[in-house]
Amino acid sequence: MKKTILKISAGTVAAGLCVYAVFASMGISGIQAGSALVFLGLTAFVFAGGVGNMIHFDDDAGFLARAVVFFLAWSFVASAAGGAALAGLRNLAPLVGAFSIFCGLAASSPRARAAYLSVALMFFAVQSVYGIAQYFTGIDITRGGFSEPYLRVRGTLGYFNSLGGVLGMMLPVAAGFAVFPSDKKKKLPYAVAAVLMAGALLATFTRGAWIGAAAGVAVVFFLRYGRRAFFIFALLPAMLFLAPVRSRLADIKSRPETERVYMWRKSAAMIKTSPVLGFGAGGFERAAARDAAAGIIQKHFHPHNIFMAAALDGGIPLALALAAFLFVMFRRAAKTFVLARASSSGGASVMPAALAAGVLGSLTDFAAHGMVDNLFSGETLYLLWFLAGCLFFYEK
């Protein structure tokens, strides 16, 4: 009976990871469905007593697990203290689902993990083709046919910033697999995917994602080519010859963008008044809604910064927990790259070094873009933990 439960559990986890890999760039509903399946499979593992045999965490992964538990517990306490316990529970579900994906990858075989990442990259390329077509034709099959062409694209996602966010994170990964292998046959599919993602990312006109992705790809190219990489990025100003790019950059002075600065100032002021527990889930949104009703702002109901968002929900301790997540992920990616690069020079596969460089670039994008937007939510939250899982357990 126990063996049967374990087999069903393993199959449920695998099915959930497959669903997530397909929908990582395609839609939040599929992402949530995939993470829910993984969570159910892992829960069955626990009740069947099979977790110890299937999931093995090293020190770094164990630290992340403890930090996640702290993050969840502190978030709930802060929300309960702010009179929003139910909202706090709802806000915790995405992190539970995202960390379930991380744990599900720990329970998977190396071959399966590589397959999940390949599937995700393939569907990112498909989404990119659709996004580029959407820009030039206005096609929008998820919203009734066609809209105006030459507008910001969202693909099959609900918002153009959502598409820009995930493309910006995955582009460095595709770039890593495109530039590190010496075999042209191995490089070509990833190079094509990277070009398609870059084109679709440009068409989202998400400036934060542009900056983050450029920084992330710069990291990948620097790790591969050293100082020669900077000559490549000297060509970036050529983008200014594109009229839509110039127009989007000029929008920085528009009212919605000056409101972003207002939200940063408001966030800092609110954090000062409650630095330990913050305001609980939805506290900042309620304050922003009052400002909107008073005519002070028109939109922007989140603080546009990952650390401010965490501090507003659960005080400075929550922001420090988020910083700890990212620090450990950065350190692990850097350590893995150094070891994998040394091994590849001795004849081992270069793919682990390519993955580590790509994830380093993705983390760079997440941190840079996260300074001007709240990426620790929605599609980008799940993608962060998916890529972390692919990196942390690649040797297992």
Q: What is the pLDDT of residues 266-308, one digit of tens each?
A: 899 999 999 999 998 888 888 777 766 666 666 656 788 999 9
In a domain, 97, yes or no: no
DSSP string, 324-367: HHHHHHHHHHHHHHHHHHHHHHTTS-SHHHHHHHHHHHHHHHHH
In a domain, 205, yes or no: yes
Identify residue 123 by its one-letter amino acid code: F
In a domain, 28, yes or no: no
> What are the pLDDT digits (tens) for 330-388?
999 999 999 998 887 665 688 899 999 999 999 999 999 999 999 999 999 999 999 99
In a domain, 93, yes or no: no
In a domain, 178, yes or no: yes
Q: Quote the number of domains for the chain.
A: 1
- CA 329, 334, 336, 337 torsion: positive or negative? positive
Find the domain containing 370 and state its range: 108-254+299-392
In a domain, 129, yes or no: yes
In a domain, 284, yes or no: no
Contacts with 39 (C-beta within 8 Å, 6 or more apart), sequence order? 16, 96, 97, 100
> What are the pLDDT digits (tens) for 61-70?
999 999 999 9
Alpha-carbon span 176 to 119, nearest angstrom: 16
- Pick the range with the lowest mean pLDDT from 35-49, 129-143, 192-206: 35-49
In a domain, 116, yes or no: yes
Q: Average model confidence (pLDDT) for the chain? A: 88
pTM > 0.75: yes
More confident residue, 296 or 223: 223
- Pick the range with the lowest mean pLDDT from 6-20, 70-84, 196-210, 233-247: 233-247
